[in-house]
Amino acid sequence: MILTDAFWPVFALSSWFSGQQQHQHDESLANGGHHHHHHGHHGHHGHVQPFPGHTLYKLNDGNYIPSPAWGTGTATAREGNATLLVAQALEAGWRHIDCSLIYRNQNGTGEALTASGVPRGELYITSKYDSLTNQSVHEELGLTLAQLQLDYLDLYLIHFPRAAVNGGGLKKVWREMEEVKKMGLVRSIGVSNYDSVELLEEVLEVAEVFPAINQINYSVYNAVDKAPVVALGTQHGILTSAYGELRPITSSPNGPADIIGKQITDRLSKDYGKEVTYAQMIFSWLKSTGVVAVTTTSNKERLKEQVVPFGKDFPLVTAAEARAFEASGWGYKD
């Protein structure tokens, strides 16, 4: 099959090798290598990894992003429980919290961040421009920062292509994104749901500063379809960030990818010396192929379980396993 031969090596292998380098990078951080924080906001000491238990990826702007992120965009978090749930995630060791104005719970999230007592430099906070009220990026970001009780974000994304249209067009909105980065109100900028080559190319055409991240719906059941946009990103140093990666467990159980998924899970269990869950295998697949994970759970046990694969001693999925897993989900519509 031409597609497989021509395509996969570019996608799965190059991303897998970046995953391997990443792993070594983690090791060097953990062993006292120098890390990235040069600015005064961050009070880290020489050799301590800034986000223990997380996998760090270097972005094309020189900053680092920790994976996984705990997403606040679920119904449970929206119903006034955000403060409790974010507090619970922080308590379980999660340090990257993924927010948005449209989730209508940033006030509650901000309360949890403040109450947690975790120093700002040890948190990584993402939010998104929704253009809900046709405000400029700067205005809407001001509202987000006020709600979250922060003076800067680590990452700010255009939430979906429609937000750029509503905000006065992609060219104008991306300029404003570049501007708030220059002002130091956000460390990194990116996009979300620009999940086709055409959409991402539109951004590249207007950008002076390329996006650092493209956050998309990404799972074993659309990985082959999304391979071209992931590859385009990789070409420009744009990291893919995945939400919806647990689809084989949450919305498509007993789908065709489960057979090989379970085989890889068994192999990981053997290498790890203790039982690995299917969800952990999925996170290891993302980690091994260089994709940042955004996920969410309100279950305390699962909060602990889901962060395990991002530690440096957790076994990686091999390139061959990743390709087989991704191919097994191709074309499945449930």
Q: What is the DSSP string of 47-95?
A: TS-SSTTSEEEE-TTS-EEEE-EEE--SHHIIIIIHHHHHHHHHHTT--
User: Cα separation of 89 and 13, whole Å?
Assistant: 33
Q: Checking phi first, is residue 121 left (phi over 0); if not, alpha (psi -120 to 50) or beta? A: alpha
Would you call 148 helix, strand, or coil by DSSP? helix
Q: Is 103 a catalytic residue?
A: yes
Q: Cβ-count burial of 2 within 10 angstroms (0-12 exposed, 13-18 middle, 19+ buried)? A: exposed
Q: How far apart are CA 223 and CA 160, in angstroms?
A: 19
Report d(CA 100, CA 128) in Å as an integer. Answer: 5
Report helix angle 278-288 to 258-272, nearest 10.
90
Backbone angles phi, psi at 138, to 5 degrees: -60, -45
Query: Of 129, 156, 159, 194, which one is the catalytic site residue?
Result: 159
Say whether 152 is catalytic: no
Catalytic residue among 57, 64, 103, 221: 103
Return the active site residues.
103, 159
